[in-house]
Amino acid sequence: MEQQSMKTNNDFVAVAKEYAARGWSVIPIGVNKKPAVGMWKEYQKRMMSEGELNVLFWGPQHTGLAVVTGEISNLIVLDCEAEADLSLLKDMPHTLMSKSGGGGRHYFFKKPKNVVVPRRIKFMPEMDLLGEGSYAILPPSGHPSGGTYEWLNDFATTPIAEMPEWLIEKVMKKSPVVSSNSTSLEPRTTSHPTILGIKEGERNNRMTSLIGKLLAKFPRTDWGTVYELAKAVNETYDPPLPREELKAIANSITSRQDAKQPKSAFSPITLKNLLTLSSTKLEWIVQDLIPEDSVSVLSGDPQSFKTWTLLHLAVQVAKGESVFNKFETKQGGVLIVDEEGIPAQIAKRAKMLGGTDDLPIYFSQSYGFKIDKEEDLTAIRAFIAEKNISLVIFDSLVRISSKDENDARQNAQIFEPLRSLAKKGTAVVTHHHRKQQATGKSNLSQSLRGSSDILAAVDVHIGVSYDKALKRLTLDQNKCRYEEAVKPFEVNIATDKTTFMTLDFEGEVLDSILSKDQAKAGVLEILLVGPLTRPEIETELDLIGKTAIATALKELVIEGTVRGEIGPHGRKTYSLVATAY
């Protein structure tokens, strides 16, 4: 790891990954050297996934990063303040060292095998030992004083030494804490580390803590076992707690823990309460298109401007300006999880659509995010809360899940976590592809690829299609769970293909125009199987009027997409032009 590259890394993601590759559990640090992730103690037991590293270490709000010391990272750090007398450190081995931002020093040692090394504050003048339950700040973190943490020797090649025996003895002298499979540094009085050295006045507090931890780990059905374990531990106390006192502690903690247990969501309400709820004003992220607390899907064929449309939504919501110069927005932060696009291309498109570098739009691109992976779901929830995200966009649905889109049960495992994100004013939008329909019947509500449960699961479905000749989009909101769906409308596209693009509302689509466009799409699909006569086409497209089909065939022939020829018995047949489709 080059010192210079570390100093210039602003988002710490690459640095965090390099430390993690060494087997260190790392966490982001914010102001005043405090962890920038809420439940950081979770990472005393497990390391972050790559997805968490990408999300939790990204952003200018972080001032640095730290390693969780102890068992998880196999690391103990001696933290010496700038005022510490280093001559007190006798027989120090050659090991990895860093300079703290305040001018002190950090000495890195391997954790001794089979020994639980605790955190010891000021165990020597101006010196702390960072062991279990602690963390040490790493280069290139910033310091409140304005200084920077730096390595004093080469991180990549300098070995980490064993912890000196004299240091182990000094730290453990006051209170030996040993793991269950260890060889004692001093005589042990019990096999349970929770009750080592317990004094008579500490028994109640220690037993309360022990029972609380056990109840949290055991399922409700096994809580009787917890009491039996508590009784066994109590017998190791000298003297044990009186049986009645032990029982009172157990009953008190059990009642408190029981109140925290998940309760059933089944809770019927009266009609009066229901009417009160129904009178609540519906709030929108994009007026009439995307409600708050909703999951929406945008579908379309390949190259139908789905990604452009989603980027336009993102830019306009981040600005608080109207979508398509028509639908008002509620300004807020936007998170785009893009598993399909090329970063440079997405950046160019966002800029063409009016995006600027000061907008609250955040991108997570192509690192394998999966909505059905607990660690990724936890990371994105934390990010949404931290950044106050109003709109989350996934591109695309099929890329963010390992589940089978054709399986109804597996689809539930996709939409349940998506639904969990659509809360507290946040809306979720994803795009999905349309399926090829053998019959050619153009029915948007049946056109989503995969299980029909996808349409059932979403609150809003908007279909988008693109007319290349007219450079115009048609959007059809064919499902809105909360309000009457917006009538299909057209959007004009203006662009010079390099520096700008605008998407502007043109007006509602006339039924005759929509039918014709549906007929054209249907004709092109069914002719993929081979030439057909007009009556055969009309039979296949029985949901579309004959007039619309006739108009569609005429325009397709003029455009050179379809060829009409007189076949055997004088019957005219239609077929695709080979280069057209």
Domain boundaries, the chain: 3-172, 193-260, 289-509, 514-576
When pLDDT is averaged across residues 236-262 and rounded to a whole number, the result is: 79
The CA–CA distances, whole Å, from 421 to 292, 492, 500 equal 11, 32, 33
- Which parts of 126-281 fold into alpha helices (H)? 165-172, 203-217, 223-234, 243-260, 271-278
pLDDT tens per residue across span 334-358 = 999 998 888 889 999 999 999 999 9
Residues 6+ apart with CB under 8 A from 427: 285, 290, 291, 292, 293, 294, 295, 296, 390, 391, 392
Q: Which position has the higher pLDDT, 136 or 232?
A: 136
When pLDDT is averaged across residues 60-67 and rounded to a whole number, the result is: 82
Rg (alpha carbons) of the chain, rounded to whole number: 32
Nearest to 575, CA basis, from 529, 540, 544: 529
Q: Which two tokens stand for residue 191?
A: 């096999």
Return the pLDDT at 49: 84
β-pair type (489-495, 290-291): unpaired
DSSP assignment letter at 238? S
Mean pLDDT (the chain, rounded)? 82
When pLDDT is averaged across residues 197-220 and rounded to a whole number, the result is: 75
Range with lowest mean pLDDT among 46-55, 182-191, 528-537 = 182-191
Strand ranges (DSSP E) for 487-534? 489-495, 501-508, 532-533
Question: Would you say 421 and 464 are in contact if contact means Cβ atoms under 8 Å apart?
Answer: no
Residue 316 has pLDDT above 80, yes or no: yes
DSSP assignment letter at 119? P
pLDDT tens per residue across span 353-381 = 999 999 999 998 867 888 888 888 888 98
Residue 442 has pLDDT above 60, yes or no: no
Q: Which position has the higher pLDDT, 153 or 232?
A: 153
Q: Which position has the higher pLDDT, 40 or 581?
A: 40
Q: Which two tokens stand for residue 480?
A: 């809105």
The yes-or-no answer to whether 3-172 and 289-509 have a common fold is no
Range with lowest mean pLDDT among 17-31, 74-88, 557-571 = 557-571
CATH 3.40.50.300 fits domain 289-509: yes
Return the pLDDT at 314: 96
Residue 83 has pLDDT above 80, yes or no: yes
Return the pLDDT at 449: 63
When pLDDT is averaged across residues 58-63 and rounded to a whole number, the result is: 68
Return the pLDDT at 255: 79
**Residue with the two structure tokens 């077929």:** 575
β-pair type (105-110, 161-162): parallel
Give bridge partners of residue 427 from the DSSP assignment: 391
Please give the helix or strand (H or E) that residue 378 lies within, else none: helix 374-387
What is the SS3 assignment for 109?
Answer: strand
Share of the chain above pLDDT 90, in %: 34
Residue 100: alpha-carbon gap to chain centroid: 33
- Total count of residues recorded for the chain: 581
Residue 193 has pLDDT above 80, yes or no: no
CA dihedral of 5, 6, 12, 15, whole degrees rounded to 10: 100
Residue 394 has pLDDT above 90, yes or no: yes
Residue 18 has pLDDT above 80, yes or no: yes
Highest mean pLDDT among 61-70, 144-153, 282-291, 434-443: 282-291
Return the pLDDT at 445: 44
Q: pTM of the prediction?
A: 0.48
Q: Which position has the higher pLDDT, 104 or 218?
A: 104
CA distance 360 to 59: 11
CATH 1.10.3720.10 fits domain 514-576: no
Return the pLDDT at 191: 35
Fold for 3-172, please state it: 3.30.720
Return the pLDDT at 195: 36
When pLDDT is averaged across residues 167-193 and rounded to a whole number, the result is: 48
Return the pLDDT at 54: 77
pLDDT tens per residue across span 499-536 = 999 999 988 876 556 677 788 888 988 888 889 998 88
pLDDT tens per residue across span 413-423 = 788 889 989 98
> Both ends of the chain: CA-CA distance in Å?
53
pLDDT tens per residue across span 116-149 = 888 888 888 999 999 998 999 999 998 888 889 9
Please give the helix or strand (H or E) that residue 16 lies within, else none: helix 13-21
pLDDT tens per residue across span 168-177 = 888 876 444 4
Residue 6 has pLDDT above 50, yes or no: no
CA distance 566 to 452: 41
- 313: confidence class by pLDDT, cuts 50, 70, 90: very high
DSSP assignment letter at 376? H
Return the pLDDT at 262: 67
Return the pLDDT at 325: 93
The CA–CA distances, whole Å, from 315 to 255, 312, 366, 395 equal 50, 5, 20, 15
CA atoms within 13 A on the CB side of 379: 26
Torsion sign, CA atoms 409, 414, 417, 418: negative
Residue 9 has pLDDT above 60, yes or no: no
Phi-psi region of 305 (alpha: psi -120 to 50; beta: other; left: phi over 0): left
Return the pLDDT at 408: 67
Highest mean pLDDT among 40-44, 446-450, 456-460: 456-460
